[in-house]
Amino acid sequence: MSIMNRREFLGAAASGIMIMKPELVRGSARNSAVRMALFGCGGRGTGVAESFTMETDAQYVALGDLFQEQTEKTQQTINKAAEKKGKPAIASGMLFHGPDSLAKLAASNDIDVIHIATPPYFHPAHFEQAVESGKHVYCEKPVGVDVPGCKRVMKAGERAKPSQSIAIGFQLRHASPYVQLAQRMKAGQAGEIVCGLSNYYAGAIPRPEWPGASASERRLRNWIYDRVLSGDILVEQNIHLIDVNNWIIGGHPLSAQGTRGRKGRRDSGDCSSHFNVTYTYPNDVHVTVTSTQFIEGSWDVAMRFFGTMGNAEMHYDAPVRITGSHPWEYPGLGKEGEVTTTNATLAGSFKGALDDADAMKQRHFIESIVSGKPVNQAHQGAESTLSAIMGRQAAYTGRTWTWDEVVKYDEVWDAKLDVKAL
């Protein structure tokens, strides 16, 4: 697939309005508001855009996708949220579809933020184009599916203007219970971390059959089943655990070894059904990440760290706590097991520790623009993605991979997909 095709994939805009000092929008004196453009109207993109609408002063004013009906569905969802908040509806004339949509958004003077929610395979090219437009960028994770893609994101981030805010969608670092636990751990209340265990036990992600669609269109619409388009489950879904592990430990892993398989999956794609990867961090800290994406039983996501003075637990629902010499528990999260389905988490319907994760992430991003104190998370997002890729490669090959090795790995994943033909 050519670079031009990648850059031209998917399309559109969703906007956010927030009254602010005009010089903070694009550095020009004019009466304006922050306007966000949603680029990729799938489930996650729509859910995050809805949350931006409800939880911040942002307003989506345009939408885009390769497929027209996707923009129309998202328009209905966002307009309902906008009505609740007393915000204007998205006009039908602001729906864009087709392979040239991103180019139109990037060239528009009526958009301040591009929110990228396309399949991960396309993130590096889309991220580059959005950053080069001079707009603020909010990009969903992971930043890419291969090492060269991650490097493209890092280089694009380095080329960003000092006034641009660039955020990657790792919302767990902003969940209030996790923030408080991280502060306590950094203060030494669990002692020195010795090892850890993170689990992401999820069921299959249901997708339509799309009768009548071509094989290429069906593959793109159900990209979550496709190893090249998604990066496989460790990089696309389980990366949240890896990002939190890096955050708590304070850096990226040095090596990884692991296993994976596909047994148990019933879809027609080629993604794995499970991973078991052990990462080695500096100071001989070992953290195992274990995951599924096929189970029929109860759903569970949690991160545990075992220290010399106590144990820390970070569940998606409850509890979030430290036991040992300095016991502490975040109050009011409810009972463990309240989040039980994959569909609930994909829709952002959390009960417990992640109740405010998306909202806080989004508020912090908007505040970075309003305050004139921009953030640039391109390197952080790439580092976590590279960490996930290192674990994936270790499991694929059945041998240990080191950080020094993975950052030199130059294999480019090619989807062999021409979106212009769809």
Residue 314, phi then psi, degrees to nearest 5: -130, 95
Comparing CA positions, the residue from 382, 402, 408, 405 lying closest to residue 235 is: 382
What's the average model confidence in pLDDT over 253-268?
A: 97
At residue 10, the pLDDT reads 37
The whole-number pLDDT of residue 108 equals 86
pLDDT the model gives residue 107: 87
CATH topology classification for 173-354+383-406: Dihydrodipicolinate Reductase; domain 2 (3.30.360)
Question: What pLDDT does 219 receive?
Answer: 96
Q: What is the domain partition of the chain in residue ranges?
A: 3-172+367-375, 173-354+383-406
- Please check whether residue 143 is in contact with residue 124, taking contact to mean a CB–CB distance below 8 angstroms: yes
What the block records as the tokens of 263 is: 């047994």
What is the spatial distance between Cα 380 and Cα 368, in angstroms, rounded to a whole number? 17
Token pair 């997002």 is found at 381
**Residue in the block written with tokens 């203007």:** 161
Task: Decide if pLDDT at 413 tops 50.
Answer: yes
Mean pLDDT of 265-284: 97
Q: Is the pLDDT of residue 309 over 60?
A: yes
- Asked if 136 and 52 count as a contact pair (C-beta separation under 8 A), the reply is no
3-172+367-375 in CATH: which number?
3.40.50.720
Lowest mean pLDDT among 27-41, 106-120, 232-246, 314-328: 27-41
Higher-scoring residue by pLDDT: 19, 281: 281
Within 8 A by CB and 6+ apart from 32, the residues are 22, 25, 26, 112
pLDDT value of position 350: 56
162-206 per-position pLDDT tens digit: 999 999 999 999 999 999 999 999 999 999 999 999 999 999 999
pTM listed for this prediction: 0.90
* Average confidence (pLDDT) over 285-294: 98
pLDDT at residue 13 greater than cutoff 50: no
Residue 47: per-residue pLDDT: 95
